[in-house]
Amino acid sequence: MSEHITSCPRNCYSTCTMKVHVEGGRIRRIEPLSSNRATPEGVCLKGLSYVERAHAKDRILHPLLRDRKTLEFHQISWDDALSLITDNLLRIREESGPKSILYYSGSGTKGILNEVGMNFWKLFGGCTTTYGDLCWPAGLEATRLTLGENKHNAPWDLARSRLIVLWGKNAAETNIHQMVFVDQALQAGATLVTIDPRRTQTCERAHLHLQPRPGTDGALALALSHLLIRDEMIDVEFISKHVLGYSGFAKLALSTSVEEVSRICDVPVSSIEELARMMGSIKPMTINCGYGMQRYSNSGQSIRAILALVAITGNIGRRGAGWVFANLQSHIFSDEQDPISLYPPAEPDPKVRVSISTTCLGHDMQKAQDPPLRMIWVERGNPVTQNPETHSVLEAFRSLEFRVVVDQFMTDTAREADLILPAKTLFEQTDVINAYWHAYVQIKRKLLDPPGEVKPETVIYWELARRLGFSESEYAGVLPGPADHEVEDYLEKRLSRFSGLSLDRLDQGPILAPGSEDVVFEDLSFSTPSGKIELFSEEATQRWNVDPLARYTEPVESRGGKNTGSNPYPIVLLTPNTKNRIHSQFNNLEMIRRLSPKPVMMLHPEDAESRGIDPGDQARVFNDRGELTLAVEIDGSLKVGCAVITNGWWISEGGGVNFLSKARETDMGHGAAFHDNLVEVARVH
């Protein structure tokens, strides 16, 4: 049995390094690698399930073509599949131009080789593509506007913190390795505060847990700032030297009534006061916001208000202190890999039309003109399940002439394809990946030959380029050849710009990105226009048309908003992540399905009782956008007025939470306001 070092490329905080044991052409065992200080205790349940996933019985191993009459898929040869794609590409480009083809690439896996897709489409003459992101761009943009960069202290620095505030983050399920450092801090006497409408597994360890009404976090942050300023629990010297816009922000905070915020958030005044005392007296303090916080129409301004708390208390540039949200110190390979560049470019690319909002995917696809869209290519994503307003996404997909989906399994999006191409797993092609919680660069080694007729995406693009008539000189350097050594040569060239990075060195274990820092902003220099922490941002107004200060507004769809009286839907539907899946991945695997065999809806006992719903009853959750019928679990850990269905369940599994969501962007960053989502629940008789 051979042992190899590789890493998990999923869209996950942890990005674990792992030792993989291979025997007889199969993955036999996966173990931790302690040289990654962020993940020394090894992979999670999903990581362990790779043993099954790599060899799954339902994996797609051959090109599949849909019969337009019967709608059934049947296997075809690669020669026929590539000919069909080539014919459609040439015909559509000739008739409508290359921008009538939509290239949709999701975040299902990380890696340098992901850039090869766009390299191909530029070589082809162009395409249309998307902007924005479904997970975290409001917070990315809010952090950039305030601090200048998206980076934070090393994960292990959290153990030095004496006050940890996990705000809307359930690390015990979604960032399990962080809990190791939380526990170390607690053992050293630290205080843990959690802020979440749910009492999650993480909250069970907290000294204080606040349960605000969903989407009111910005108001809560302003009330905390009010108390800190009023009671002189701020760092005046730090503010005078390093903070821009404090006087205006202080005026805003002091005009915010703590009693009114208590009513807005449905959090006792005493709890707000207790947290303010902690923030004003315990140092160093770290605030870590989760990504569910990004899924409201007011998320960017809420994050700016929360960021102000670390600024006015002087908890920046210190060990054990700071703002933990996105650590992009390992994103060194290209500007295209930087998630902060998710809005349309200021100077449009003449070849690539960046005109489709990821959040408004279905609507924007149908609105596209000059030229209209006729074809789509999807890879690393499952937009039918994961993007808002599934109905509009399905309608847009079904209006196209030709749909190609590259995937490992028969997802909801793959079911809508005309042609499905089998995708590789992480073990079937070498790549180099970065992360967004720690600063390690890591290798993802090829350990297995692809089964069946699976071809890595780079090989598909290379073969298409040849069929389209491009010469080797035209695609040399932008498309690696099909051989393993050609892929490695491509990666070595990308690594060669950085001293100390090479495939051989990465084979020995993860390497911290050149220039990465354990304690960020230690020099108290910020890449903002003023060089200071900006609580007043002119760019926020110019770019996003929001107040230059972090003023609170209600979410567009909210029980506390001005339209409350006319809205017939009283329940806020939250669609968080779960430890058992990464969005829509993994639940088709047998070992995962044993733990979560079917989608359920969680409801507070009071909400269930008032609707005559008992545990296990079937209930409709609905609004004017759609509905689902699911079994109900009664969950006293929820806040009254909230329902929870974890996201990622396939339609074919009885799920599909985005039949209920609205294609609505966040206030900045072009994110998806999934949680601006009011519903009603009724027992099915």
pLDDT tens per residue, range 115-160: 999 999 999 999 999 999 998 999 999 999 999 999 999 999 999 9
Peptide bond into 570 cis (omega under 30): no
- Taking the C-alpha atoms of 592, 595, 598 and 599 in order, what is their torsion angle to the nearest 10 degrees? -100
Can you tell me the distance from the alpha carbon of 157 to that of 169, in angstroms, rounded to the nearest whole number? Answer: 18
Q: Per-residue pLDDT for 599 more than 90? A: yes
pLDDT digits (tens, 9 = 90+) for 356-395: 999 999 999 999 999 999 999 999 999 999 999 999 999 9
Q: Where are the domains of the chain?
A: 2-53, 64-132+343-432+446-487, 141-328+524-543, 564-683
State whether the Cα torsion 245-248-251-255 is positive or negative: negative
The pLDDT of 54-81, averaged and rounded, is: 94
Q: Is-contact 197 169, C-beta < 8 A?
A: no
Q: Per-residue pLDDT for 344 more than 80? A: no
Q: Is-contact 442 432, C-beta < 8 A?
A: yes
Q: Please report which residue ranges of 513-636 form alpha helices under DSSP H.
A: 538-544, 590-593, 605-610
Peptide bond into 284 cis (omega under 30): yes
Q: Which of 553, 567, 414, 544 is nearest to 59 (CA)?
A: 414
pLDDT digits (tens, 9 = 90+) for 158-183: 999 999 999 999 999 989 999 999 99
Can you tell me the distance from the alpha carbon of 158 to that of 181, in angstroms, rounded to the nearest whole number? Answer: 6
Q: In what order do the strands lie in the sheet with 26-32?
A: 2-7, 17-23, 26-32
pTM: 0.94
Can you tell me the distance from the alpha carbon of 171 to that of 84, in angstroms, rounded to the nearest whole number? Answer: 46
Q: Please report which residue ranges of 243-298 form alpha helices under DSSP H.
A: 246-254, 258-265, 269-281
pLDDT of residue 345: 64
75 SS3 class: strand
Q: Is-contact 381 106, C-beta < 8 A?
A: yes
Chain mean pLDDT for the chain: 93
Q: In which element (H, E) is residue 242 found?
A: helix 236-242
pLDDT digits (tens, 9 = 90+) for 306-341: 999 999 999 999 999 999 999 999 999 875 444 445
- Cα first-last separation, the chain: 57
In the chain, the percentage of residues whose pLDDT exceeds 70 is: 97
In the chain, the percentage of residues whose pLDDT exceeds 90 is: 82
**170-174, 518-522, 570-574: least confident range:** 170-174
- Alpha carbon separation from 632 to 214, 396, 645 (Å, rounded): 21, 32, 10
Can you tell me the distance from the alpha carbon of 157 to that of 153, in angstroms, rounded to the nearest whole number? Answer: 6
Q: In what order do the strands lie in the sheet with 191-195?
A: 208-210, 191-195, 163-167, 285-289, 322-324
Calculate helix-pair angle for 299-312, 246-254, nearest 10 degrees: 110
Q: Is-contact 436 13, C-beta < 8 A?
A: yes
Buried/exposed 465-477: b ≥16 CB within 10 Å, e otherwise: bbbbebeeeebee
Can you tell me the distance from the alpha carbon of 153 to that of 164, in angstroms, rounded to the nearest whole number? Answer: 13
Name the pLDDT band for 49 (thresholds 50, 70, 90): confident
Q: In which element (H, E) is residue 74 found?
A: strand 73-75
Can you tell me the distance from the alpha carbon of 213 to that of 227, in angstroms, rounded to the nearest whole number? Answer: 20
**86-90, 343-347, 536-540: least confident range:** 343-347
Relative to beta strand 600-603, strand 627-634 is parallel
Name the pLDDT band for 188 (thresholds 50, 70, 90): very high
Q: What does 398-423 look like in DSSP terms, one character per residue? A: HTSSEEEEEESS--HHHHT-SEEEEP
Q: Which residues lie below 8 Å from residue 565, measured CB to CB, with a gap of 6+? A: none
Does the domain at 141-328+524-543 match CATH 3.40.228.10? Answer given as yes
pLDDT of residue 112: 95
- For domain 2-53, which architecture applies? Single Sheet (2.20)
Q: Is-contact 163 279, C-beta < 8 A?
A: yes
- Alpha carbon separation from 514 to 196, 407, 497 (Å, rounded): 36, 34, 11
Find the angle CA(564)-CA(567)-CA(569) to the nearest 5 degrees.
Answer: 110
How many other CB atoms are there within 10 angstroms of residue 67's CB atom?
10
Q: What is the DSSP letter of 335?
A: G
Q: Per-residue pLDDT for 564 more than 80? A: no
pLDDT of residue 566: 61
**Phi, psi at residue 106, to the nearest 5°?**
-90, -165
pLDDT of residue 75: 97
The pLDDT of 509-514, averaged and rounded, is: 95
The pLDDT of 669-678, averaged and rounded, is: 94
Q: Per-residue pLDDT for 616 more than 60? A: yes
What the block records as the tokens of 212 is 């605000």
Q: Per-residue pLDDT for 77 more than 50? A: yes
**Phi, psi at residue 46, to the nearest 5°?**
-65, -40
Name the pLDDT band for 343 (thresholds 50, 70, 90): low
CATH (residue range 64-132+343-432+446-487)? 3.40.50.740
Does the domain at 564-683 match CATH 3.40.20.10? Answer given as no
Can you tell me the distance from the alpha carbon of 252 to that of 212, in angstroms, rounded to the nearest whole number? Answer: 21
pLDDT digits (tens, 9 = 90+) for 652-664: 999 999 999 999 9
pLDDT of residue 1: 76
